Chain A
Amino acid sequence: MEHTPPPFFKRGPAPLVRLFFFASLSVALLVLDARFRYAENLRSVLALIAYPIQRAATLPFELAERVSGYFTLQSRLLEENERLRAQNLELAQDAQRFEAEKAEAAQLRRLIGAGEAVSVRSMPAEILYASRDPYSNKVFIDRGTREGVQPGSPVADDAGIVGQVTRVHALTSEVTLLTDPDQAIPVQVVRNGLRAVAFGGGAAGTLELRFMAANAEIQNGDHLVTSGIDGVYPAGIPVATVMRIERDAERSFARVVCKPAAGVDRGRFLLILSNESKAPPRPAEAEPAKERRGDKSRRRAKDAKGDGSR
């Protein structure tokens, strides 16, 4: 095979022994990661090692885009400029109105003694690539702890909520899309304020409202927005549109299938939103007897918040 003499004596342990060694190592890691989530540091280091390769993989596409951008037709540019100017005017008007409304709303809130409304900051990000995992729906974006991304932050595009940041590495972050089977988001029907929770999974690229009573007041074409009661997603951002409602007499729940408003599986630029002010502090525990229970529920609430309202 090679020009060296066959090294009969330095082949190390038998392949089967090695397989057992590496397999048990993998299983140990799997258990540590799945059950206890101890392996996050190792994961961050590995993600950092993989980063140059990921960057290199997206490079040709960026290059092609830049080249095609250079050769764009003058007429198309003019046309686009025109359209953007019109849009800008429209948005500027909206923004002015929004400012006025916001001031008024804040004043009214002060009058009735409600807490300050949550202000939302956003940070643009670009999708690097989608996860190869057929069991989940995740994408990776080019912002990480270096830019101050917080795990749990909602991610949106220009049309609505896309998903939630679930892991943050040094230079990249992992975003779990709304269509992931493990993802859930509290929503509200715009028309009548009916609250529900939308889950991912089901058919490809759709959301599903679970545990909706069969006689719930919901129609095809209803718009769903975030309700904001979980403290993770800011209120009032579009999430989905109801596509189909199946009411089965045998079941007590209706099956409501919705189509995400945002381009969950297309588009390349996203916004990472972050809630500036936190939820109001929980009432202090007075009696020591109740303390344990209160402690537990607080911890659960915190878990739910960090875990993506799962």
Chain B
Amino acid sequence: MGPDSPQHILMPVRLSTIALSFAVALLLNFLPWPDLKYTPDFVALVLCFWCVRQPRLVGLGVAWALGLLTDAGNGVLLGQHALAYSLLAFLAIWLSRRILWFGPLQQAFHVAPLLLASQAMILLVRLAAGSPFPGWSLVVGPLIGAALWPPLTWLLLIPQRRLEREQVL
């Protein structure tokens, strides 16, 4: 669909694909990771992806609901991730037309600041709530998340591409 793949016209996305990708992202977030400092926030990444690709289907409402679910699941202040994800979704939708003109690698460079902004939002909320600053390792997660953007793009567009090929055949 985007100008980044002129030779392929992607099929419309199915809602089940989006729902499934969010479920898998939540599952990845709840996995017992050995070191949580360096694991990217998969929900934020997938949310960013769908906001860029399908700004009309996935928007701030979805982001807010996912944020609340993450908050409750992690036992943190209710609304902290909701706020951060809303901001992320807004920025992603705002930049979606620009981002899609670039290749996957340059897109990753656009996504990194968005993920960092949402992390910064959480940091602000926590500092306001009286938590001490946990150190600069906070930055690592979003950067790894941005590095995962190209493979994520490839993975999440598979259903749309395969459908198209079947139709041509």
**Which A residues are within 8 Å of any B CB, using their own CB?**
1-3, 7, 11, 15-16, 18-19, 21-23, 25-30, 32-34, 39, 42-43, 46-47, 49-50, 53-54, 56-58, 61, 127-136, 138, 140, 166-167, 174, 181, 201
Say how far A12's CB is from chain B's closest CB, in angstroms. 8
Closest to B75 in A: A174
Number of residues of chain B lying within 8 A (CB) of chain A: 50
Q: Is the CB of B73 within 8 A of A50?
A: yes
Given A26-B67, A132-B29, is A33 in contact with B78 using a C-beta cutoff of 8 Å? Answer: yes
* In the bound complex, CA of A136 to CA of B76 (Å): 9
Q: Is the CB of B79 within 8 A of A133?
A: no
Q: Is the CB of B129 within 8 A of A22?
A: no
Say how far A129's CB is from chain B's closest CB, in angstroms. 5
* In the bound complex, CA of A32 to CA of B94 (Å): 30
Q: Is B31 on the interface with A (CB-CB < 8 A)?
A: yes
**Which B residues are within 8 Å of any A CB, using their own CB?**
1, 12, 23, 26-33, 36-37, 39, 41, 56, 59-61, 63-64, 67-80, 82-83, 86-87, 90, 93-94, 125-126, 129, 131-132, 134, 137-138
Contact of B132 among A23, A128, A129, A201 (CB under 8 A): A201
| Interface majority SS (helix, strand, loop, mixed), chain B | helix
Say how far B29's CB is from chain A's closest CB, in angstroms. 6
Number of A-B contacts (CB under 8 A): 140
Q: Is the CB of A18 within 8 A of B126?
A: no
- A174: chain B residues within 8 A (beta carbon): 75
Can you pick out 8 interface pairs between chain A and chain B where the beta carbons lie within 8 Å of each other?
A19-B90, A21-B60, A28-B79, A29-B68, A29-B78, A50-B73, A58-B31, A133-B74
Given A19-B87, A50-B72, A61-B32, is A134 in contact with B79 using a C-beta cutoff of 8 Å? Answer: no
Q: Is the CB of A22 within 8 A of B82?
A: yes
Interface centre among B30, B67, B76 (most CB of A within 10 A): B30
Q: Is the CB of A30 within 8 A of B69?
A: no
Q: Is the CB of B60 within 8 A of A18?
A: yes
Given A23-B87, A34-B129, A54-B30, is A133 in contact with B76 using a C-beta cutoff of 8 Å? Answer: yes
Interface centre among B12, B70, B71 (most CB of A within 10 A): B71
Q: Is the CB of A46 within 8 A of B72?
A: yes
Q: Is the CB of A167 within 8 A of B75?
A: yes
Closest to A49 in B: B69
- A11: chain B residues within 8 A (beta carbon): 56
Say how far A167's CB is from chain B's closest CB, in angstroms. 6
* In the bound complex, CA of A22 to CA of B61 (Å): 8
- A1: chain B residues within 8 A (beta carbon): 1
* In the bound complex, CA of A53 to CA of B73 (Å): 10
Q: Is the CB of A53 within 8 A of B30?
A: yes
Q: Is the CB of B131 within 8 A of A136?
A: yes
Given A2-B12, A19-B90, A29-B82, is A131 in contact with B59 using a C-beta cutoff of 8 Å? Answer: no
- A53: chain B residues within 8 A (beta carbon): 23, 26-27, 30, 73
Q: Is the CB of B26 within 8 A of A22?
A: no
Closest to A167 in B: B75
- A128: chain B residues within 8 A (beta carbon): 30, 32
Closest to B132 in A: A181
- B28: chain A residues within 8 A (beta carbon): 57
Closest to A13 in B: B60
Say how far B75's CB is from chain A's closest CB, in angstroms. 4
Q: Is the CB of B132 within 8 A of A133?
A: no
